Structure 1
Amino acid sequence: MVTSHPTTVIYSSKNGWDESLRLLSLHDNKYLRYFKGHHYRVASLSMCSKKECFISGSLDRTVMLWDQRAEKCQGFLRIQGRPTIAYDEQGFVFAIAFGGYIRMFDACKYEKVSN
């Protein structure tokens, strides 16, 4: 997935113990950051168009909210199925679809719902 910087991408890759997300600079072919936390394959990624944030959904039934400038997850949600995720165009709301349901969250207040 291309970030807000045209020469930077985020992608999922498997190493020995988890499914890391990597921030890669295409300009100089260097990894800028690793985002660790998912234990199974990442099935969905969505970038926020207005901020340096993105969300990831995994087959481990978790959704994680990230800031590209920090390695640690900024928010965590456990759900009941395989997630498909998306931000709205303004970056105010994100949605998680799973098991026939769609739940919407206020992106500014996601900490309050990430149990």
Structure 2
Amino acid sequence: MTATENNGIRVAALDDIPVGEGIAISSDITGTDDDIALLRDEDGSVWALNDTCTHQVASLSQGWVEDGKVECPLHSSQFCLKTGAVEGLPATVDTVPHKVEVRDGEVYLFPNVRP
């Protein structure tokens, strides 16, 4: 592992992510195949999932975050913030979760590392 893999990539300040919403982090920054959605649940916790809905091309970072799930803004598919598992149709394929840490008000992403 490199130092970046051990410490993560600083991708945002916690205040950059409104409660109940998300922001997208470009794959140019993360080195992943898809952009990554940073999503903030109403309890203030931050989660990371691949940004593209597995049902149709839509950005999960533009969805609604509530009760441990994100709802896709296009057709209302729902995904578990912790595991990426489908929790509401029409999606039938899980999305990919990524490890996130919040340290001193800064959000660090560990791309392709499962939480």
TM over 0.5, shorter chain: no
Larger relative helix fraction: 2
Report TM bin, short chain: 0.3 to 0.5
Larger relative strand fraction: 1
